[in-house]
């Protein structure tokens, strides 16, 4: 029986170490991707020439671009919460090692589920944002290919337009890291 309790303490130590390591890895990957995608998105929206093309004539493509950028921005905010939640994994890992502050297994699983739901929701919103922006770019590309000599500059795909797609993809990747981390930790908890 003594060996079983010793092995249980060793398992909790390993799980706590796994929580801390996974939490830190997820946190830093998400921080880097959030900063890069935020800077890219700000750069693309501030310096996009199509933004200044004709402000008196709003079109459906400008609304779709706005919707895509707004959804990606909202997903960045959910990513900030996911970063906080990754740090929470680190704190849970520290608590698992300490006998006096050790949380119950059901509490830990609920923490992991919350992190998983936040990342899944943020990823879904980011995918909708990327779809809206991609639809606009496909529309611009098809219009510019069919035109002759009279090409409206706001209907040509600019290199800055591609930055919005890049920002959305980085947000999707950051949410994927959060999902993978939560699933990895849920798997460790289910083996316990």
Query: Counting every residue, how long is the chain?
Result: 192
Q: Which domain holds residue 126?
A: 2-191
Check residue 153 and give its pLDDT.
56
Q: pLDDT for 176-192, tens place per residue? A: 999 999 999 998 888 76
Check residue 80 and give its pLDDT.
94
Contacting residues for 175 by C-beta, under 8 A, at least 6 apart? 75, 78, 79, 82, 119, 120, 122, 123, 126
Q: Which residue has the tokens 């880097």?
A: 32
How many separate domains does the chain show? Answer: 1
User: Which one is predicted more confidently, 14 or 53?
Assistant: 14
Q: pLDDT for 28-77, tens place per residue? A: 999 999 999 999 988 887 876 555 444 444 455 566 778 888 899 999 99
Please spell the DSSP secondary structure of the chain, one letter per residue: -HHHHHHHHHHHHHHHHHHHHHHHHHHHHHHHHHHHHHHHHHHHHHH-GGGGS-TTS--HHHHHHHHHHHHHHHHHHHHHHHHHHHHHHHHHHHHHH-SSSPPPHHHHHHHHHHHHHHHHHHHHHHHHHHHHHHHHHHHHHHHHHH--S---GGGSPPHHHHHHHHHHHHHHHHHHHHHHHHHHHHHHHHH-
Check residue 105 and give its pLDDT.
86
């Amino acid at each position: 029986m003594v060996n079983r309790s010793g092995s249980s303490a060793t398992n909790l130590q390993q799980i706590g170490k796994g929580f801390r390591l996974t939490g830190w890895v997820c946190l830093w990957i998400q921080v880097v991707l959030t900063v890069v995608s935020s800077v890219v998105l700000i750069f693309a929206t501030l310096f996009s020439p199509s933004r200044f093309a004709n402000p008196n004539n709003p079109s459906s493509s400008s609304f779709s671009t706005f919707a895509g950028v707004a959804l990606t921005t909202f997903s960045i905010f959910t990513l900030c919460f996911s970063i906080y939640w990754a740090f929470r994994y680190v704190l849970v890992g520290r608590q698992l090692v300490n006998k006096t502050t050790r949380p119950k297994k059901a509490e830990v699983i609920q923490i992991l589920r919350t992190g998983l739901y936040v990342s899944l929701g943020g990823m879904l919103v980011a995918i909708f944002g990327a779809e809206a922006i991609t639809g606009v770019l496909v529309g611009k590309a098809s219009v510019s290919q069919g035109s002759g000599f009279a090409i409206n500059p706001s209907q040509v795909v600019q290199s800055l337009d591609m930055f919005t797609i890049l920002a959305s993809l980085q947000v999707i990747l950051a949410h994927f890291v959060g999902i993978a981390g939560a699933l990895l930790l849920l798997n460790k908890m289910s083996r316990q």
